Amino acid sequence: MAHSHAIDAFEELDVPEGFKAELLWGDIVLMAGPDLVHNEIVESVVDQIPRSRWKRLQTQDVALLAQTSEPQPDLVVLPRDAGPQSGRLMPHEEVTLLMEVVSRTSVHRDHVTKRALYAAGGVPGYLIIDPFKAECVLLTEPSGKGEQADYRVERRTPFGESVPLDLLGVKLETEEFQTLPVTKQVP
């Protein structure tokens, strides 16, 4: 069963310092550390999601094992009283919203690969924050299975306008999000 081999290999991986590894549809992907702009956007979002009601977790691996995937989104949001007591993997069923901030090398991964992956897992909300396009893409109502899965509702909001995160009962203010210059896109 190739499925479990990929997961076993991933869990035994020795990841170099400063990198993060993700398992996406059975493929192991390594990423360099994020840009400061990226980290400041994540910090701003965390500050706007009330800790009293939500867990706002970074560097948290999510289990989407039916999709042979263990992604590590930039932010994992779930109700304060949900989730396991311990362990490396967060069951995707517990998650309310996943967020990715697009980096120079993650454009396709965030907009395409993970969009299908998170929809296949039935994650209620997926927020893509893209500092190159200066916009937020909020995806809700997951539907479908496997790599054909997608979100039925897509809402694009330019930086500077607020994003209604109804799933969290929050209006996300984006005016302090910094942009990144569009360099030659890495395929």
Give the residue extent of every domain in the chain: 35-172
pLDDT tens digits for range 156-179: 999 999 999 999 999 999 999 999
Q: Rounded mean pLDDT of 125-144?
A: 97
Write down the pLDDT at residue 154.
98
Residue 184 confidence (pLDDT) above 80: no
Residue 185 has pLDDT above 90, yes or no: no
Determine the pLDDT at residue 1. 43
Supply the mean pLDDT for the chain.
92
Checking if the pLDDT of 105 tops 50, the result is yes
On whether the 35-172 domain is CATH 3.90.1570.10, my answer is yes
For 15-34, the pLDDT digits (tens) are 888 888 999 998 999 988 88
pLDDT at 187 over 60: no
For the chain, give me the number of helices (H) and strands (E)?
4, 12
Query: Which token pair is 181?
Result: 């210059």
Whole-model pTM: value is: 0.91
Q: List the one residue out of 118, 92, 105 whose CA is nearest residue 38.
A: 105
Q: Among 58, 135, 43, which Cα is nearest to 127's?
A: 135
